């Protein structure tokens, strides 16, 4: 049973692109005029970073999304930031950026982040292509430090090591199984330190990324920030607002993380969210003739276990020689629960698995894990661990780890493999080579410009209430969406997108929740 501090999001557009359903056409962009510099005063020692230019050009060479970006007409470029803001004359990091330039009367830039932590943000700009928002704002994406096409990258495991790790059974809760899991976690943390370096690991957290975001704001020539953050990106937005409250013009936070929430409670609430998503999926499935879960929703969870639990003893066959492990099957199922648009793939994957074929679920798991068709991996998995381990205080009390395992199984019975003992291994963050810097807290930003928080009622990864709570904490407005997916802005839901567009362009804040 996987237990992680935060399940990584997958923007639906990115998933569809990965499976070949997104087709883009157009010409590669060319550099446009440079923007006038920002007039916001910055510390003298950082001036060189805020005043640097960006050479916008073709996106070839900017990761696996580069060709898609190039065909869409987007442009890409790079800037430098201090690795350690307390040592601005020391080593630097290079950030990769993407842009769809405004084609109408330009108001400014909107910086976007897809979440993760660990996800590349370059292709996120494509969600806004052709919209009224993109007509009046440059839409700008970026790969945060250590991630994607930024340099240096967080790298802990090779592709072969990652394949091997995914095949390992990590659900054994016997004393021997717990000892083996903790041994793997220690070794992983050690490899991260050796292959990435502790200096970078210490500076990939949210506190450093929001300072990079302010450099990006200055480089783009904006005196105040317009920001659209999804999932973990809402944490970036919240901390930016706390750090630079007078530099926020407009901020949309979709799929919120509650900063008051203890990470342990967050895991339990997330488990409840995935159980709710599974129940919704099962209710839809049982009414179809091809449903692998039978025709009785009350028996759907039991049937699910009959299909997936045998993988604990023996992987299912796949065209790929790896086979489908139990661990990958659960990962694939969770990927399929991120959006109702993926329920057809999930239903087909479970049907195939019932017949002994694990190809579809393995493909869904590969999407989640960032594995490409050639067997290479993006940095998302390693970066996810690196960011969360420096952002959140680790669980180092084994009694707390055991209690969390029990509560997780209770909150999400469909993920309970029946092997719980009340004990559990310490997570990899307990062995991390650099200290965590974040703590749960209540944001205190009394003079913040009104922000807009969007929350989806059936969001499995960032439950609805977290968005309602964040809107309250920041004194912002709430937009509720009735749906079963993780995040919704720019997914083509006009009720949501119209509110967001008017907010960014005209700074119109709804007086009451439009509840789309």
**Per-residue pLDDT reduced to its tens digit, 176-207:** 999 999 999 999 999 999 999 999 999 999 99
Active site residue 305: no
The catalytic residue among 163, 212, 405, 486 is 486
Give the pLDDT confidence of 88-128 residue by residue, as tens digits.
Answer: 999 999 999 999 999 878 999 999 999 999 999 999 999 99
Q: Is 231 annotated in the active site?
A: yes
DSSP assignment of 416-429 equals --S---S--PPPGG
Confidence of residue 211 (pLDDT cuts 50, 70, 90): very high
**DSSP state for residue 320 in the 8-state scheme:** S
Closest CA to 233 of 251, 211, 215, 217: 251
Share of the chain above pLDDT 70, in %: 93
441 is catalytic: no
143 three-class SS: strand
pLDDT of amino acid 27: 36
The active-site residue out of 72, 109, 231, 352 is 231
Average pLDDT, the chain: 92
Please state, for a pLDDT cut of 90, what percent of the chain lies above it. Answer: 87
Helices (H), 62-173: 66-72, 132-136, 159-167
Cα 502 to Cα 509: distance, rounded to the nearest angstrom: 8
- Over 80: is that where the pLDDT of 487 sits? yes
Would you give the DSSP letter of residue 185?
Answer: H
Residue 342 neighbours by CB under 8 Å, 6+ apart: 12, 15, 335, 336, 364
Count, residues in the chain: 516
Q: What is the DSSP letter of 35?
A: P
pLDDT at residue 38, rounded to an integer: 79
CA 58/CA 33 separation, integer angstroms: 15
- What ranges do the domains of the chain cover? 263-369
**pLDDT surpasses 80 at 405:** yes
- Compute the distance between CA of residue 15 and CA of residue 465 in angstroms, rounded to an integer: 26
Q: Which of 459, 469, 491, 497 is catalytic?
A: 459
pLDDT band at 239 (very low <50, low <70, confident <90, very high): very high
pLDDT of residue 35: 65
The pLDDT value recorded for residue 374 is: 94
pLDDT of residue 269: 93
**Residues 285-331: tens digit of each pLDDT:** 999 999 999 999 999 999 999 999 999 999 999 999 999 999 999 99
Could you tell me the pTM of the whole model? 0.92
């Amino acid at each position: 049973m996987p237990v992680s501090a935060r399940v990584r999001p997958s923007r639906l557009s990115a998933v569809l692109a990965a499976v070949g359903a997104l087709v883009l056409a157009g010409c590669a962009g060319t550099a446009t005029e440079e923007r006038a510099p920002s007039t916001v005063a910055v510390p003298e020692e950082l001036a060189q970073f805020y005043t640097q230019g960006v050479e916008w050009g073709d996106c070839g060479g900017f990761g696996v999304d580069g060709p898609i970006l190039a065909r869409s007409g987007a442009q890409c470029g790079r800037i430098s930031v201090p690795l350690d803001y307390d040592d601005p004359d020391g080593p630097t990091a290079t950030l990769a950026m993407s842009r769809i330039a405004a084609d109408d009367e330009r108001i400014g830039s909107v910086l976007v982040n897809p979440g993760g932590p660990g996800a590349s943000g370059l292709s996120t700009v494509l969600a806004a292509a052709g919209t009224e928002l993109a007509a009046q704002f440059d839409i700008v994406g970026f790969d945060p430090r250590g991630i994607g096409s930024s340099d240096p990258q967080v790298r802990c495991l090779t592709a072969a090591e990652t394949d091997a790790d995914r095949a390992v059974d990590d659900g054994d809760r016997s004393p021997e199984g717990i000892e083996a899991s903790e041994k793997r976690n220690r070794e992983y943390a050690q490899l991260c330190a050796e292959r990435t370096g502790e200096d970078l690991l210490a500076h990939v957290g949210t506190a450093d990324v929001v300072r990079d975001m302010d450099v990006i704001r200055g480089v783009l020539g904006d005196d105040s920030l317009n920001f659209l953050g999804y999932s973990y990106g809402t944490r970036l937005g919240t901390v930016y607002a706390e750090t630079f409250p007078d530099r926020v013009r407009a901020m949309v936070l979709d799929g919120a993380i509650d900063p008051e929430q203890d990470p342990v409670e967050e895991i339990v609430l997330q488990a409840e969210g995935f159980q709710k998503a599974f129940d919704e999926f099962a209710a839809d499935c049982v009414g179809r003739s091809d449903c692998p879960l039978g025709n009785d929703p009350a028996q759907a969870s039991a049937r699910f276990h009959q299909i997936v639990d045998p993988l604990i003893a023996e992987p299912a066959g796949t065209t790929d020689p790896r086979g489908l492990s139990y661990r990958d099957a659960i990962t694939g199922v969770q990927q399929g629960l991120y959006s109702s648009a993926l329920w057809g793939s999930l239903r087909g994957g479970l049907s195939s698995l019932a017949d002994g074929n694990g190809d579809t679920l393995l493909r869904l798991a590969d999407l989640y894990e960032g594995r490409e068709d050639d067997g290479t991996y993006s940095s998302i998995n390693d970066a996810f661990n690196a960011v969360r381990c420096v952002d959140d205080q680790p669980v180092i009390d084994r009694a707390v780890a055991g209690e969390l395992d029990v509560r997780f199984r209770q909150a999400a019975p469909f993920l309970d493999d029946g092997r719980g003992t009340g004990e559990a291994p310490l997570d990899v963050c307990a062995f991390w080579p650099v200290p965590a810097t974040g703590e749960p807290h209540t944001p205190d930003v009394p003079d913040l410009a009104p922000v807009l928080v969007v929350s989806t009622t059936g969001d499995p990864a960032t439950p609805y209430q977290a968005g309602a709570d964040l809107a309250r904490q920041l004194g912002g407005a709430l937009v509720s969406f009735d749906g079963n997916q993780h995040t919704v802005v720019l997914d083509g839901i006009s009720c949501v997108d119209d509110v967001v567009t008017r907010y960014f362009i005209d700074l119109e804040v709804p007086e009451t929740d439009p509840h789309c």
